[in-house]
Structures are given as C-alpha cells and as structure tokens.
Structure 1
Amino acid sequence: MGRGGVALARVAVVVRAGAAPLWWLGLLAAALGAVLPVSLTGRRIGLLAGAALFIVAAAVVSGARRRRYTHFAGAASRAAKADFLQDRAVTVRTWRRARRWWLLLAFVAAAGSSFALPGAGGLLMAGAGVGLRLKAAWLGRTERAADALLWVRTDWVPRGAPVGRAVRGFRTTGPGAGDAAPGGARRR
C-alpha cells in the first residue's frame, strides 16, 4: 500500500451489476424463442430444456469461486482514510459499459439458439442473472455477519471478476460506508 488513496468499489455491487441485464435480456430472448413458429425440436422440448438449464446455471454461477471470496473476505485489510469509495451507480454503469458488447453478443446467441431449442438459450442467460443475484445476497449475509463491507480496487476489476487473477485482496469498511446496503442493493 502506498501513501495515496485508491478508488474502491463494493464487491457485492460488482457481482450484482450483471444480474439485471442478464435476467432481462435472457427473458426477452426466451420470449422470442417461445413465439417462433418453426424450430428443430419443438417449443415444449426447448422450454423444458431451458428450465433445466436455468436451474443449473443459477446453481453453478451462485456457487462459483465461493472459496476465493471467503478467503479474500477473511484476509481483508482495513481501507485507508485516503481511499475513495465509489458510488453504487458509478460501479454499475462502469461494469455494464465495459461489457455491453458481450451482453449484446450473448443476447444474439441466445435468440439465435431458439431455432434449435426455443427459449433454452434465453433461460440459460436468465439463470446466470439469478445466480449472480444469489451470490450478491450471499455476500450480503457475509458482510452482515462480519459487520463490515467488502471493497475491491477499481483498477483490478475491469479485467475480470472481483476475485479474478488481477485481484490481490479486499478491503473493509464499517457497515455505514458507501451508498449501497449489504448485498449491493440500494440503501434505503
């Protein structure tokens, strides 16, 4: 650590930032697939496969890398007074802008897969969004149990997840810091 402060983003907000676009774009792609008149497998098979993919995606995404999150949370250092805490809206906007083309590409792929399995690709995307939401809720419970909010440096996040290869650790603040509640939701 140096003498100057760094910008910090909430870990739960970064995780939760992708949940809404994946959910809504996935539902839109599934709806487009459900109204297609012609497909290789039929609407019923496609939607049943999509429901199974939804459940599997939600479980896999919500459980992925939990050990690494727990390790970083346990080894987190206290944020310095000079550190800058980034607003929730700025974190969400930055995450979504950096990945807007990937989200668009995923939507096109999910909608295009509806010619083979109607609605399955869209429900897979929506399941990933639900998994991110569940992971953010789990992080919120972790923050409440520790009575501390988890933060990550913003210069480490653009290249991946809040526990990606570039991330070396988390920092903590008290539960009143920032404008997001535990779990990344808006503070009321």
Structure 2
Amino acid sequence: MTAEIKKETVRWYALYTKSRNEKKVHERLTEHGYESFLPMHKVVRQWSDRKKVVEVPLINSYVFVRMVLSQRFAVLQDPGAVCFINFEKLPAPVADKDIAYLKCILEEDIEVEVVETPLSKGEKVKVNAGQLMGLEGELVDHKGGQRVVVRIENIPFSLVVTVPLEFVERL
C-alpha cells in the first residue's frame, strides 16, 4: 500500500490581536512571508484644537492571515497575536469570497460600518449590479436607509454596506 500525503490547503484565518496591535502584527507577519490582510478605513478624529483624517483598522483587534493550518503555531509566536477564531478547537477558515468582498468594499470606498452583534432579522438578498455584484446578505432598514448586512463567517462581526435598493434582488 502506498501512503498518500495529504496536501494542506492554504486558507484565510481570522487572527485576534492585542488591542491596538493590528498594524504591528500585520507588518511582522508580512515580513515573515505570510500573506496578511488588515482592512483599514479613514475616519475623522477630533482633537481639542483640530480635526484630522486618520486611517484605522476596520475591525478592531483582527488581522486576516492566509496560511496552511500547520503554520498556526508559528503565527501565534508573534508578540501581538492572541488567538485564532476557533470552531471545534481548530482555527475556523474565512472564505476567499468574503475576503475578496471586503477588499472590494475598501477599494471602492463604499460606506461601511462594523456591527459587533450579528443582525438576525431581514430578508436574504443578493446584489445583482454594481461593484458588489454577487454579494449575498440580509436587507435591513438601518438609520433610515436601506442597507445590506453582510456576515463574514467565523468572525463575530457583521458589515453594514449601503447598496442602492434597485441593485438588490430577493433570494
């Protein structure tokens, strides 16, 4: 009998970091040859004497890492890394399509907000036009406008994205 060698699959995983360590962890992982993704967005911060636009992580304390599962222990050696988001005691993979949509949202400068508790009400919808075509989520009435809620599986956050209602169809 010939022993088959199981080839490990390269996947995205959500790495939870120490507070305010996202940028440092992202930089160190990249320096060590890992593919790392830190979603950033611009916000206006008010100081006593001025306002300034600063770039901050979209999802606090999370960095996404593309790796094979056996590399998880090496990644956790980073001083800013805390743990991976787990499911059944193993790091839970994040779908490639979810990372691609997240990158698209940031590249197109689409209005987005992070909601810490997943929203459960609303109809299942699919975006059928525009830059986010193919994106599936739930339609919600949020702050007086129609928005699509997108859940990225295996992380405890939802993204609320504004999409024109005519771009959305029921599933």
**TM-score where L is the length of structure 1:** 0.23
Going by fraction, where is strand more abundant, 1 or 2? 2
Query: Which gives a bigger RCO, structure 1 or 2 (Cα 8 Å, sep 6+)?
Result: 1
